[in-house]
Homo-oligomer: A and B are copies of this chain.
Amino acid sequence: MDISSVKALTFDVFGTVVDWRSAVLREGRALGKQKGLSVDWVEFADAWRAGYEPFMQRVRTGELPWTNIDALHRMILDELLVRFQIAGLSEAEKEHLNRVWRRLDPWPDVREGLARLRRRFLVAPLSNGNIALLTHMAKRADLRWDCILSSELARRYKPDAEVYLTAARLLGLRPQQIMMVAAHNADLLAAKAVGFRAAFVYRTREYGPSQTTDLAPDPAVDIVARDFAELADIMA
Protein backbone atom coordinates (compact mmCIF):
# COMPACT_ATOMS: atom_id res chain seq x y z
CA MET A 1 0.00 0.00 0.00
CA ASP A 2 1.17 3.51 -0.77
CA ILE A 3 1.07 5.30 2.56
CA SER A 4 2.31 8.65 1.30
CA SER A 5 -1.22 10.04 1.17
CA VAL A 6 -1.98 9.10 4.78
CA LYS A 7 -2.01 12.17 7.05
CA ALA A 8 -3.73 10.92 10.18
CA LEU A 9 -4.13 7.71 12.13
CA THR A 10 -7.29 7.14 14.15
CA PHE A 11 -7.27 4.45 16.79
CA ASP A 12 -9.80 2.16 18.29
CA VAL A 13 -9.17 2.32 22.03
CA PHE A 14 -10.82 -0.43 24.13
CA GLY A 15 -8.78 -3.52 23.36
CA THR A 16 -6.54 -1.91 20.75
CA VAL A 17 -4.83 0.78 22.84
CA VAL A 18 -5.77 -0.25 26.36
CA ASP A 19 -6.24 -3.54 28.14
CA TRP A 20 -9.71 -3.06 29.66
CA ARG A 21 -9.98 -6.55 31.12
CA SER A 22 -6.97 -6.39 33.44
CA ALA A 23 -8.01 -3.09 34.98
CA VAL A 24 -11.62 -4.12 35.54
CA LEU A 25 -10.39 -7.37 37.11
CA ARG A 26 -7.86 -5.57 39.29
CA GLU A 27 -10.27 -2.98 40.60
CA GLY A 28 -13.07 -5.51 41.01
CA ARG A 29 -10.87 -7.78 43.07
CA ALA A 30 -9.66 -4.90 45.23
CA LEU A 31 -13.23 -3.81 45.83
CA GLY A 32 -14.27 -7.38 46.62
CA LYS A 33 -11.53 -7.70 49.20
CA GLN A 34 -12.35 -4.36 50.77
CA LYS A 35 -16.08 -5.09 50.94
CA GLY A 36 -15.83 -8.82 51.71
CA LEU A 37 -17.64 -9.77 48.50
CA SER A 38 -17.60 -13.21 46.93
CA VAL A 39 -17.77 -12.46 43.21
CA ASP A 40 -16.23 -14.13 40.15
CA TRP A 41 -14.56 -10.99 38.84
CA VAL A 42 -13.49 -12.60 35.58
CA GLU A 43 -17.12 -13.34 34.84
CA PHE A 44 -18.07 -9.87 36.05
CA ALA A 45 -15.54 -8.11 33.80
CA ASP A 46 -16.55 -10.12 30.76
CA ALA A 47 -20.24 -9.54 31.46
CA TRP A 48 -19.69 -5.79 31.76
CA ARG A 49 -17.92 -5.69 28.43
CA ALA A 50 -20.48 -8.05 26.85
CA GLY A 51 -23.28 -5.67 27.84
CA TYR A 52 -21.77 -2.90 25.80
CA GLU A 53 -22.77 -4.08 22.31
CA PRO A 54 -26.46 -4.78 23.09
CA PHE A 55 -26.76 -1.42 24.86
CA MET A 56 -25.23 0.41 21.89
CA GLN A 57 -27.67 -1.47 19.71
CA ARG A 58 -30.53 -0.02 21.77
CA VAL A 59 -29.17 3.43 20.95
CA ARG A 60 -28.76 2.55 17.26
CA THR A 61 -32.34 1.38 16.96
CA GLY A 62 -33.66 4.44 18.78
CA GLU A 63 -34.99 2.41 21.71
CA LEU A 64 -32.70 4.64 23.78
CA PRO A 65 -32.02 8.27 22.88
CA TRP A 66 -28.37 9.22 22.37
CA THR A 67 -26.56 7.99 25.49
CA ASN A 68 -22.80 8.11 25.92
CA ILE A 69 -20.63 5.24 27.08
CA ASP A 70 -20.17 6.54 30.62
CA ALA A 71 -23.94 6.34 30.98
CA LEU A 72 -24.29 2.98 29.17
CA HIS A 73 -21.56 1.49 31.36
CA ARG A 74 -23.49 2.67 34.39
CA MET A 75 -26.76 1.14 33.16
CA ILE A 76 -24.96 -2.19 32.62
CA LEU A 77 -23.23 -1.91 35.99
CA ASP A 78 -26.53 -1.36 37.78
CA GLU A 79 -27.81 -4.64 36.28
CA LEU A 80 -24.61 -6.47 37.17
CA LEU A 81 -24.73 -5.31 40.79
CA VAL A 82 -28.06 -7.10 41.08
CA ARG A 83 -27.02 -10.17 39.11
CA PHE A 84 -23.77 -10.65 41.03
CA GLN A 85 -25.46 -9.77 44.32
CA ILE A 86 -23.10 -6.91 45.06
CA ALA A 87 -24.78 -4.89 47.79
CA GLY A 88 -23.74 -2.11 50.10
CA LEU A 89 -22.06 0.24 47.64
CA SER A 90 -22.75 3.93 48.08
CA GLU A 91 -23.63 6.03 45.06
CA ALA A 92 -20.12 7.50 45.14
CA GLU A 93 -18.60 4.00 45.20
CA LYS A 94 -20.74 2.88 42.27
CA GLU A 95 -19.75 5.95 40.30
CA HIS A 96 -16.10 5.40 41.14
CA LEU A 97 -16.34 1.78 39.98
CA ASN A 98 -18.08 2.89 36.80
CA ARG A 99 -15.18 5.19 36.04
CA VAL A 100 -12.74 2.28 36.03
CA TRP A 101 -13.15 2.62 32.25
CA ARG A 102 -11.21 5.88 32.53
CA ARG A 103 -8.43 4.10 34.44
CA LEU A 104 -7.37 1.51 31.88
CA ASP A 105 -3.69 0.98 31.13
CA PRO A 106 -2.23 0.85 27.63
CA TRP A 107 -0.67 -2.33 26.28
CA PRO A 108 3.11 -2.21 26.85
CA ASP A 109 3.98 -1.30 23.24
CA VAL A 110 1.56 1.62 22.96
CA ARG A 111 3.25 4.70 24.42
CA GLU A 112 6.46 4.38 22.50
CA GLY A 113 4.82 3.27 19.27
CA LEU A 114 2.38 6.14 19.46
CA ALA A 115 5.17 8.65 20.09
CA ARG A 116 6.97 7.42 16.98
CA LEU A 117 3.82 7.51 14.86
CA ARG A 118 2.98 10.98 16.16
CA ARG A 119 6.16 12.41 14.64
CA ARG A 120 4.83 11.77 11.17
CA PHE A 121 1.05 11.62 11.49
CA LEU A 122 -1.77 13.25 13.36
CA VAL A 123 -2.83 10.67 15.91
CA ALA A 124 -6.24 10.57 17.57
CA PRO A 125 -8.46 8.02 19.23
CA LEU A 126 -11.69 7.29 17.39
CA SER A 127 -13.49 5.32 20.01
CA ASN A 128 -17.00 4.61 21.15
CA GLY A 129 -15.78 5.96 24.48
CA ASN A 130 -17.01 9.48 25.12
CA ILE A 131 -14.79 12.57 25.07
CA ALA A 132 -14.61 12.92 28.86
CA LEU A 133 -13.72 9.24 29.29
CA LEU A 134 -11.02 9.34 26.62
CA THR A 135 -9.63 12.62 27.93
CA HIS A 136 -9.29 11.37 31.50
CA MET A 137 -7.86 8.07 30.27
CA ALA A 138 -5.24 9.81 28.13
CA LYS A 139 -4.24 12.13 30.93
CA ARG A 140 -3.87 9.36 33.49
CA ALA A 141 -2.10 6.97 31.11
CA ASP A 142 0.04 9.69 29.54
CA LEU A 143 -1.15 8.96 26.02
CA ARG A 144 -0.20 11.90 23.86
CA TRP A 145 -2.93 12.29 21.25
CA ASP A 146 -3.06 15.30 18.94
CA CYS A 147 -6.78 15.59 19.56
CA ILE A 148 -9.54 13.42 20.98
CA LEU A 149 -12.15 12.13 18.57
CA SER A 150 -15.10 10.02 19.58
CA SER A 151 -18.28 8.48 18.26
CA GLU A 152 -19.95 10.93 20.62
CA LEU A 153 -19.18 13.75 18.17
CA ALA A 154 -21.40 12.05 15.59
CA ARG A 155 -23.90 10.91 18.23
CA ARG A 156 -23.70 7.48 16.60
CA TYR A 157 -21.73 4.40 17.50
CA LYS A 158 -19.10 2.58 15.47
CA PRO A 159 -19.34 0.83 13.15
CA ASP A 160 -21.91 3.34 11.80
CA ALA A 161 -20.42 5.18 8.83
CA GLU A 162 -21.25 8.62 10.28
CA VAL A 163 -18.62 8.13 13.00
CA TYR A 164 -15.77 7.80 10.51
CA LEU A 165 -17.11 10.50 8.22
CA THR A 166 -17.49 12.94 11.11
CA ALA A 167 -13.88 12.28 12.12
CA ALA A 168 -12.69 12.97 8.58
CA ARG A 169 -14.70 16.18 8.41
CA LEU A 170 -13.32 17.41 11.76
CA LEU A 171 -9.75 16.58 10.72
CA GLY A 172 -10.31 18.39 7.44
CA LEU A 173 -9.16 15.32 5.53
CA ARG A 174 -10.55 13.01 2.90
CA PRO A 175 -11.26 9.49 4.22
CA GLN A 176 -8.45 8.19 2.00
CA GLN A 177 -6.00 10.30 3.98
CA ILE A 178 -6.86 8.58 7.26
CA MET A 179 -5.89 5.14 8.49
CA MET A 180 -8.00 3.42 11.12
CA VAL A 181 -5.98 1.27 13.50
CA ALA A 182 -7.81 -1.46 15.39
CA ALA A 183 -7.60 -4.98 16.71
CA HIS A 184 -11.14 -5.57 15.47
CA ASN A 185 -12.00 -6.46 11.91
CA ALA A 186 -15.55 -5.10 12.03
CA ASP A 187 -14.25 -1.62 12.91
CA LEU A 188 -11.66 -1.76 10.13
CA LEU A 189 -14.08 -2.99 7.49
CA ALA A 190 -16.57 -0.25 8.37
CA ALA A 191 -13.81 2.35 8.13
CA LYS A 192 -12.70 0.96 4.80
CA ALA A 193 -16.26 1.03 3.50
CA VAL A 194 -16.21 4.84 3.68
CA GLY A 195 -12.72 5.13 2.22
CA PHE A 196 -10.34 4.96 5.19
CA ARG A 197 -7.19 2.86 5.09
CA ALA A 198 -7.09 0.08 7.68
CA ALA A 199 -4.35 -1.34 9.88
CA PHE A 200 -4.97 -4.46 11.94
CA VAL A 201 -3.00 -4.86 15.17
CA TYR A 202 -3.05 -8.22 16.91
CA ARG A 203 -4.50 -8.21 20.44
CA THR A 204 -5.22 -11.89 20.85
CA ARG A 205 -5.49 -11.74 24.65
CA GLU A 206 -7.91 -8.84 24.86
CA TYR A 207 -10.61 -11.25 26.03
CA GLY A 208 -8.23 -13.39 28.03
CA PRO A 209 -6.54 -16.69 27.24
CA SER A 210 -9.54 -18.24 25.53
CA GLN A 211 -10.31 -15.43 23.08
CA THR A 212 -12.02 -16.69 19.93
CA THR A 213 -12.60 -13.51 17.90
CA ASP A 214 -10.30 -11.24 15.89
CA LEU A 215 -7.42 -13.67 16.16
CA ALA A 216 -6.39 -12.83 12.60
CA PRO A 217 -6.89 -9.91 10.23
CA ASP A 218 -9.48 -9.84 7.51
CA PRO A 219 -7.79 -10.16 4.11
CA ALA A 220 -9.21 -6.77 3.11
CA VAL A 221 -7.10 -4.71 5.54
CA ASP A 222 -4.17 -2.73 4.17
CA ILE A 223 -1.62 -3.29 6.90
CA VAL A 224 -1.10 -5.93 9.56
CA ALA A 225 1.16 -5.34 12.56
CA ARG A 226 2.07 -7.42 15.56
CA ASP A 227 1.90 -4.37 17.81
CA PHE A 228 2.36 -0.58 17.76
CA ALA A 229 6.13 -0.92 17.48
CA GLU A 230 5.80 -2.89 14.28
CA LEU A 231 3.13 -0.49 13.05
CA ALA A 232 5.57 2.39 13.57
CA ASP A 233 8.25 0.43 11.69
CA ILE A 234 5.92 -0.16 8.76
CA MET A 235 4.70 3.44 8.65
CA ALA A 236 8.17 4.96 9.04
From B144, B148, B152, B172, contact of A148 by CB (8 A): B148
A172 — which chain B residues lie within 8 A by C-beta?
70, 130-133
The reply to whether the CB of A170 lies closer than 8 angstroms to some CB of chain B is: yes
The reply to whether the CB of A93 lies closer than 8 angstroms to some CB of chain B is: no
Q: Count residues of chain A with CB under 8 A from any CB of chain B.
A: 22
The reply to whether the CB of A153 lies closer than 8 angstroms to some CB of chain B is: yes
The reply to whether the CB of A225 lies closer than 8 angstroms to some CB of chain B is: no
Docked-complex contact B70 and A132, CB < 8 angstroms: no
Docked-complex contact A131 and B147, CB < 8 angstroms: yes
The CB with the most chain B CB atoms within 10 A, among A132, A152, A153, is that of A132
Docked-complex contact A131 and B70, CB < 8 angstroms: no
Q: Could you tell me the distance between the alpha carbons of A153 and B153 in the complex, rounded to whole angstroms? A: 7
Binds B, one of A13-21, A28-36, A134-142, A198-206: A134-142
Residue-wise, chain A 112-137 has the 8 Å CB interface mask toward B (1 for contact) of: 00000000001010000011111110
Docked-complex contact A135 and B131, CB < 8 angstroms: no
Docked-complex contact A122 and B139, CB < 8 angstroms: yes
